[in-house]
Structure 1
Amino acid sequence: MDYFSEETSTDTVNGRIGATADPRLRLVMTGLVEHLHAFIKDVELTEAEWRVAIDFLTRTGQICSGNRQEFILLSDALGVSMLVDAINHRTSVGATETTVFGPFHVEGAPEREMGAVISLDGKGELCLYQGRVLDLDGQPVEDALVDVWSDNADGFYDVQQPGIQPQWNNRGIFRTGADGHYAFRGIRPVSYPIPDDGPVGQMLAAIGRHPWRPAHMHFRLTAPGCKPLITHIFVGGDSYLTSDAVFGVKQSLIADFLPADAPPERWQTRFDFILERLSPSD
C-alpha cells in the first residue's frame, strides 16, 4: 500500500476502506474522496483557505437548533438539495414536478375542514386556493392528504417566530373526497429572504448572491396507491422567479393569482396536482 503523497492521495485514502464496508457506502465514500481531492488539487487550496472552510463548517453546525437547520440551508443554497431531488424524483410526463422540501416543514399539523382558513395571525391578503388531485389518467384521487404551509405576510414561518406567531399559523392538512377536490384559504404569500444572519448568508454575500426566495405555497401530497409529492406553487410575476436563492422554481409550478370573485378573499388561484400511481415494483 502506498504512503500518502500528492500524486497518490486518492488511491491511498480509498485503499484504506475495509473489505467489510457496505458496498453502497464504499461507492459513495470512494466517489466523495475522488471528487474532493480533485477539487483541492484543481484550485490548489491554501492552508489559510482550508482553515476558513473548517471554521465555516464548524459555525454552520453550531448555529443549528431544533428550529433552524443551517446545513439544509447550505445544501439548498448550493443547489445540492434540488439536484438530489431531481435525481430521486424523475417524474413521468404529465405528472406534477417536485421541488425542494425546505427546512420549515413541521410534522403534526392539524387536519382541517375543507375550505378552512389556515392564516391565524390576521395578517396578509386572504387567498382562496383550490384545485383537484388527479392521477395521470385524469381520474380523481380520493383520500389524498394535502399538507400545506407558507410564510406569513411579514415573510416568516411560524417556527421562526415562536411566541410571536400562533402555533400552526399558515399550516394545515386537507383530505380529498371522491372528486379529488381540495380548497383552503391562506394568504397570498410574499417573497422572503432565507435566514442570512449566519454562515450561509455570509457565503452568499461574499459571492455576490442575494438570499431571496420568490413567493410560494408549499405542498406535500400523500395518497393510497400513489407516489408522494413534495412541491410548491409560485406566485406568477414575482421578481425573484428567475433568481431563487435555492433554485426551486420550475416553469410548470408557476401559478396565476387572480382577483377573487367575492370577499372576504382578495385573491384566488387554482392548481391541479397530478400524482403517479405506484407500480407493482414500487
Structure 2
Amino acid sequence: MTINRDISAEQRAREEDLVQRVLRSFDTCEDARLGEIMRSLVTHLHTFVREVRLTEAEWTEAIEFLTAVGHITDDKRQEFILLSDVLGASMQTITINNEAYGDATEATVFGPFFVEGSPRIDNGGDLSFGAEGRPCWVEGTVRDTDGKPVPGARIEVWEADDDGFYDVQYDDDRTAARAHLFTDEDGGYRFWAITPTPYPIPHDGPVGKMLQAVGRSPMRASHLHFMVTAPGARRLVTHIFVRGDELLHSDTVFGVKDSLVKDFVQRLAGTPTPDGRPVDRDWTRVKFDMVLAPEEAS
C-alpha cells in the first residue's frame, strides 16, 4: 500500500486500528467463504480509500453515482453489469473461472442483453426475425477437448441489429436477432444471422457519464454472442469478433481475445449460398469451431 509519507505515525495507527476492528467484526461469521470474501473486500477497500486519501465530498459523489446506477436498473437494463463490464471486473471474473484447458475455446463477457426463452430454430434457420442487417451465414462444429463431436449441444445466439440495438432495447416487445439451436449428430451447426457491426453500450446513464468524464469511448467492437451448454461440459459464454474492425483494441468492456477474431468473408449479391437460399444483397460467411472443456475444469 502506498500512503503519503507526510502522514504522521499517529494518523497511520488510527487508520490501521479501524481496519483491524472492521476485520475482527467478521470473526463470528459461520460461512468461511463469506468471511474470506468480506475480509478481503474490507482490506482492499480501506487500502484504496487510504491510498487516494478519499475526501468526504468524493465519497458522497461515489454514493450518489451508485445510487443512480441502481435507479436506472430494471428488468431490461442492468446498469450494474454495465459498470462491472467497463471496469474490467466482468472480464476478470470470467478469466478466473474459465481456466485454460487444452484447446478449449476462450470465454468472454456475458453482457447485459441475454434473455431466457429465446425461440428455437433448426439448423440452417434464420435468427434475425426481421432485424435489419446484412445477412451472415454462420457455421461450425462443437467438440470436446479429446476431439470428439458433441451432438445435441444447445447453442444460444444473440446480437445487436444494424442500428446497434438489441431487441430488448426497443419498446415494442419484439424478439429479433436471437435464438437457440442444437448441434446435429456430428456436432455441427449452421444458421443465418446478421453481420455484426460496432455499437455503443447504453451511455445515457451514470456509466456513460463516467466514461465521458474519463475520456473513454462507449463503443464495442463488432461481435456475435454465443452460449453453449452440453451435459458433462463446462458452460461456454463467448463472442466472435470481425477481423479488421478498428475497435478490436479499444473494446470498452475488454472482451476481445485474439482467438475469437474471425474472418467474415464478403460475398456479392447472387453468389450461391451454402443452403441454396437466394440472397439479393451482399452477405458474409464465417466459420467458428468451438471446443468445450469438461465440467470438472470449471
Please confirm whether the aligned pair reaches a TM-score higher than 0.5, indicating the same fold: yes
1:219 aligns with 2:236: no
2:265 to 237, 258, 262: 258
| Contact 1:149–1:170 (CA under 8 A) maintained in structure 2 | yes
Q: Does the 8 Å contact 1:143/1:224 carry over to 2?
A: no
- Please point out which of 91, 112, 118 is paired with 1:109: 118
SS of structure 2 residue aligned to 1:51: helix
1:224-259 CA-to-partner distances (Å, cap 9, x unmatched) read 221110000001111110000000000000010002
Instruction: Report the residue type matching 1:97 in the other structure.
Output: E
Judged with a 3 Å threshold, the aligned counterparts in structure 2 of structure 1 residues 125 and 31 are, in CA distance, closer, same or farther, namely same
The 5-angstrom pairing of residues 104-253 of structure 1 reads: 104-163=113-172, 167-253=174-260
Alpha-carbon distance between aligned partners in 2 of 1:169 and 1:18, rounded to the nearest angstrom: 51
Gaps of 5+ in 1: none
Matched, 1:62 2:79: no
TM-score, normalised via structure 2 length:
0.89
Of residues 129-138 and 146-155 in structure 1, the stretch that sits farther from structure 2 once superposed is: 129-138
* 3-state SS of paired residue (1:116): coil
CA displacement 1:109-152 (0-9 Å, x = unmatched): 01111111111225210000001111112221100011100000
Equivalent of 1:17 in 15, 22, 26: 26
1:276: how far off? 1.7
Given candidates 52, 55, 61, the residue that maps to 1:52 is 61
Shift of 1:93: 2.7
- After TM superposition, the structure 1 stretch with the greater mean CA deviation from structure 2, 204-213 or 263-272, is 263-272
Amino acid corresponding to residue 170 of structure 2 in structure 1: Q
Asked if structure 2 preserves the Cα contact closer than 8 Å seen for 1:118 and 1:185, the reply is: yes
Distance verdict in 2 for CA 1:24–1:62, change over 3 Å: same
Deviation string for 1:87-116 (max 9, x for gaps)? 111131311000010000001101111111
Q: Which runs of 5+ in 2 are unaligned?
A: 1-12, 273-277
Contact 2:198/2:221, CA 8 A, preserved across alignment: yes
Deviation at 1:18, TM superposition (A): 4.5
**Alignment length (residue pairs):** 276
The CA RMSD measured in Å over matched residues stands at 1.5
